[in-house]
Structure 1
């Protein structure tokens, strides 16, 4: 069973794809909710990678409701070229990056409200490469960024090495200038130049404008990760 952890939003558990998939999803879900109830109850979230009909049925049968669909989209590399210039992230960009990120993602439950400590934690990750964190400046200020991440091959899922557009954002003050498309292409160019043959990103299914932009670039939906929730009372009643 995936670990059940408590964060600032409540209880969270994940069902990963591949060999870690639970053989008896209903039993696993009941055990996870019982653990949360014994820990004081509260909101409960289940994330399912590569959701399928069987796991969707298990979650709904146990009283959980779909909350978020996160699309994983992929594309072949190289993609189209962009003439919009970018440069690597440097330490002095931190303040401007956080300001743009938090304006652009004010609505987002995870990416919004990023702090200096949050950024430092990401920079301490072994995958972090400032060269792959592309910055675009306009009118003397940080206007947009594209942060990439390289994933090694995952034989258990049949995945080749993947170059991810990890976070991309445009300062709202520069919306309407095509920078979302251009910065996505800049990130993909950087990944392709470093040997990646396949690009990947995650996007909320209801972010229609972003999904359409990515489809125009050549991305297609590979799979869906889905979050389910239960209210505090239902979680507290789990046994």
Structure 2
């Protein structure tokens, strides 16, 4: 099995924005433009623990000026409980960013790579079909078998899928399923980012059922998603992958993906 999962959980900005006790930071607070209704650039986001003794979550976004991280961390972490546990994500981490994080008691523990490739890629040759509402239960079962190890994608519930289906970006045609002997053998769920410059076609989640591992499905499943994205006129494919998922990264390199940037996770243990 090739273990893959992309942009889920804490890396989803909307998950933190909507959470109780969250705070946005530009120069102290996020704010919306009355004229455009768009959110001005947000430098960081803080999600306070849902219960006493819980772990706070902080995301520092890309687009920082050189040397700005230390001040952003001073500001974003000021409202956290002294000595409390916390998780920190730094988007597009740069050389030297570990130092200001460590000064606040954080140690790095996870690197998530964003990879990009040019489209179109080579043809998949794998028969797939679009996701349908009746596929939810089987998809959840296969997902949780494939991602039992994953800190965010594992433990998915049918209600979680329905919530994502309600998002404006969801397109069932871009959620490609491959069946073998009447069973769901693998899936490639895509997501289009039309407002990005350039527009990006993301491999959002992809997995092969462990029962079908070793059959070479990871590569054609990925290509099936890229094929669908290319047919929508997108010229750049993108995905996120764990830096230490060596089998998956080998597949992606052969397809033509290249490293674009790293998002790094840090943890501070409660004192």
Q: Which has the higher helix share?
A: 1
CA-CA distance at 1:45 after TM superposition = 1.0
Name the counterpart of 1:74. 116
Q: TM-score, normalised by structure 1?
A: 0.89
Q: Is the 8 A contact 1:67 1:229 kept in 2?
A: yes
Q: In structure 2, do the counterparts of structure 1 residues 10 and 134 end up closer, same or farther at CA, with 3 Å as the change threshold?
A: same
Q: Does 1:152 align with 2:194?
A: yes
Write the distance in 2 (CA, Å) between the matches of 1:27 and 1:160: 30
Task: Name the structure 2 match of 1:237.
Answer: none
- Report if the CA contact (8 A) 2:45-2:60 is conserved: no
Alpha-carbon offset, residue 232 of structure 1: 1.1
Structure 1 unaligned regions, length at least 5: 234-239
CA distance in 1, matches of 2:66, 2:166: 32
Q: Is 1:188 the counterpart of 2:226 in the alignment? A: yes
Corresponding residue for 1:124?
166
The residue aligned with 2:143 is 101
Distance in 1, matches of 2:152 and 2:123, equals 31
Distance 1:51 1:195 in 2: 30
2:252 is matched with: 214
Q: Secondary structure at the match of 1:185?
A: helix
Equivalent-residue separation in structure 1 for 2:241 and 2:192 (angstroms): 17
Q: Give the corresponding residue for 2:59.
A: 14
The structural deviation recorded for 1:31 is 3.7
The residue aligned with 1:53 is 95
Which residue of structure 2 lines up, in the alignment, with residue 83 of structure 1? 125
The equivalent residue for 1:135 is 177
Question: Per-residue CA shift, 1:3-24, capped at 9, x if unaligned?
Answer: 31035762111111126x6974
SS in structure 2 at match of 1:3: strand
Task: Provide TM-score, normalisation by structure 2.
Answer: 0.79
Following TM superposition, by how much is the alpha carbon of 1:80 offset from its aligned partner in structure 2, in angstroms?
A: 0.8
State which of 47, 50, 74 in structure 2 corresponds to 1:5: 47
SS in 2 for 1:222: strand
Q: Cα offset for 1:137?
A: 0.4
Q: Say if 2:209 is the partner of 1:171.
A: yes
Provide the C-alpha distance between the structure 2 equivalents of 1:132 and 1:75, rounded to a whole number of angstroms: 18
Count the aligned residue pairs: 226
Greater Cα shift, 57-66 or 203-212: 57-66
Question: What is the CA distance between 1:55 and its match in structure 2?
Answer: 2.6
